[in-house]
A and B are shown apart, each in its own frame.
Chain A
Amino acid sequence: MDVIDAHQHFWAYRPDHYPWMGPGQDGLRRDHLPEELQMLMAQAGVAGTVAVQARQMEVETEWLLGLARQHRFVRGVVGWFDFTAPDVEARMERLADDPLLVGARELIHDMPDPDYAVSRDHVRGVRAAARYGLTYDLLLKPPHLPAATRLVDLLPDQRFVVDHIAKPPMATGELEPWASGVRELARRPNVWCKLSGLVTEAVKPGESLTVDELYARVEPYLEVCLEAFGAGRLMVGSDWPVCTVVAGYGETMGIARRFVGRFSEDEQRAVLAGNCVAFYGLVDRSEEGTGGTS
């Protein structure tokens, strides 16, 4: 069964480019490039990915598109655009012809204002993305869920996907207020959810858990997502290389796949690949020449 990893990153590491890498994430402070991921994917039985921005620069979006052109396992790119720029639409228009550009993302969860999602610039940027046919990745923590819900209500024709199930505190086992916030957001038909980044939030600093222990921590949260979104709006992602701080690529994907294993075959196909392809509008690259490395 085809698996698409709906969320991974690439970077050529420079400390000033990736200031969000925190203590305990030293393993991330090196290059993470397609050749490495491709080996891990082959072992894990993953056929394709969506590469997501990790740096707030439009040159990164172009760089990711360049990597995607060379590596056909990269089925799409979620880029970053400067939503505060007065010419944000022209900036999107410049790249929008590229079928590999499938979405945009801004780092809402790093904004000090919990209502940033409905701030003027942000709404304008997400609306511009919608116009240019670009979906929008919602990178949230639980306090940002109410504003994100208001944003979705403002833009019913945009397609949104919640990254990393909105990062609930899985290490402590608390469900509220995250669960209520996710359920409310999921009532909007134009919001999907990535079962990704699961291991990162499941451990306390310095903790080392087995895969079974990680799964036990994560499962109650996945149940809430399944109940809220249904199998028709879930997709799976690794958040590689960020996941490697806690678990390997195969183990991380394995946690999501274990949860999905009890679904019907059709539902598994949908959650492991079909929903992601449909949400982002990923192009089929299997017919492309082998000019790239895959």
Chain B
Amino acid sequence: MSGHLLRQRVPLGRTGLAVSRVGLGCSALGGVYGAVAEDEAIATVHAALEAGINLFDTAPAYGSTRSERVLGKALRGLPRDAFVVSTKAGKLTSEDGRDSFDYSEAAIRRSVDESRERLGLERLDVVHLHDFDYEDGRHLEQALAEGLPTLRALQAEGVVGAVGAGIYFMAAWKRLLTRAEIDVALLHNHHTLLDVRAYELLPLFEAKGVGVINAAPLASGLLTGGPPPAWHPVPADARRFLARATIRAEELGTSLPRLALQFGVSEPRLPVTVFSARSRDELAQALSWVAEPFDPDVVAEVQAELEPLMNVQWAYGGTDPANAFASEGC
């Protein structure tokens, strides 16, 4: 991906939205990967806009609403067509990191209203139902029966542009795509150096005309070359493989995060990728990396070190909800 491609706009499925091929993931600006001063967070959003980025992905859960608040401040006063905001509903995280989930009509309506307030926007371009596959699948029924229809109703009322889902577990994606309609998918951690299960889902998205936002090319912090964030469910015995991959990448003249970003944005069927940056410097670094060509042989060598972790389903927010579906005979 070369630099001028940041100025390109690609359609996001059938939503009518045209977005940049790289988007800014705003979880880091909410402090999810270490505290970020508000002025630096705002400056990072502005630097992204200047670089040609128009897609910003956030969520009420990121940094206990801090991510949305700071993004709202940064966007205030800008022309409404200068940016596309993708946010989420259904999950909240308290100041001390505890998650809570509620996909009832009342909770989703309240969440969307509060997001509009924090972001200073009448209309949210995309709202994803967030992490409803966590906690062993116990929220799945409510999410599909109540949460998604509520987002559709809000879409009809004009306060939500497009309806999406941001989940993780493969079985939940498959079930969602067979049972419900979404306009946009926020697909995270399934097109990285250690997980390529996006390939299983891409035909389903394509068949349904779902616009896909590919997210987390650094595997939620696993591929930065440093300690993963503490909330990451990766077990300690995976450390050695991540370390070996880091060392191998350096031996081959690159670095793990650099290669991870380059690989993450390289799939033609995933033309839109969002990733996080904690500062203007990190953003500039990442954008220069994704503009460089990379060597597929180097990817293969580094992936060989990561083989024991390849396509491993991490226990984000509980166990795989596939177990819960099996008991329903589905």
Q: Does A229 lie at the interface of the complex (its beta carbon under 8 Å from any beta carbon of B)?
A: yes
B95 touches A187 (CB 8 A): no
Cα distance A159–B225 when bound, in Å? 11
Q: Which 4 A-B pairs have the closest CB atoms?
A: A157-B226, A266-B95, A274-B96, A281-B230
B247 touches A131 (CB 8 A): yes
Q: In the complex, what residue of chain A is closest to B36 when comparing beta carbons? A: A189
Closest chain B CB from A266 CB (angstroms): 3
12 further A-B contacts with Cβ under 8 Å, apart from A97-B236, A232-B95, are: A89-B247, A99-B237, A130-B225, A131-B247, A132-B239, A157-B225, A159-B226, A190-B226, A232-B35, A270-B95, A270-B96, A278-B97
Q: In the complex, what residue of chain B is closest to A130 when comparing beta carbons? A: B226
Cα distance A89–B244 when bound, in Å? 10
A266 touches B225 (CB 8 A): no
Q: Does A156 lie at the interface of the complex (its beta carbon under 8 Å from any beta carbon of B)?
A: yes
A267 touches B95 (CB 8 A): yes
Contact with B along A148-174 (1 / 0, CB 8 A): 000000011111000000000000000
Binding site for B on A (CB under 8 A): 89, 92-93, 96-99, 101, 130-135, 155-159, 187, 189-190, 229-233, 264, 266-267, 269-270, 273-275, 277-282
Q: Write out the residue numbers on chain A whose beta carbons fall within 8 Å of the beta carbon of B239.
A: 96-97, 132-133
Q: Does B31 lie at the interface of the complex (its beta carbon under 8 Å from any beta carbon of A)?
A: yes
B242 touches A131 (CB 8 A): yes
A266 touches B94 (CB 8 A): yes
* 30 A-B pairs in the complex with CB atoms less than 8 angstroms apart: A96-B236, A97-B239, A99-B235, A99-B237, A131-B225, A131-B247, A133-B228, A133-B236, A133-B239, A133-B242, A134-B227, A157-B224, A158-B226, A159-B34, A189-B34, A189-B36, A189-B279, A190-B226, A232-B35, A232-B95, A264-B95, A269-B96, A270-B96, A270-B97, A274-B95, A274-B96, A274-B97, A277-B230, A278-B229, A281-B232
Contact with A along B258-278 (1 / 0, CB 8 A): 000000000000000000001
Contact with A along B1-44 (1 / 0, CB 8 A): 00000000000000000000000000000010111110000000
Cα distance A158–B36 when bound, in Å? 15
Q: In the complex, what residue of chain B is closest to A191 when comparing beta carbons? A: B34
B227 touches A130 (CB 8 A): yes
Which one, B36, B230, B243, B282, contacts A131 given CB within 8 A?
Answer: B243
Q: Write out the residue numbers on chain A whose beta carbons fall within 8 Å of the beta carbon of B94.
A: 266
Q: Write out the residue numbers on chain A whose beta carbons fall within 8 Å of the beta carbon of B235.
A: 99
Cα distance A159–B228 when bound, in Å? 9
Contact with A along B100-112 (1 / 0, CB 8 A): 0000000000000
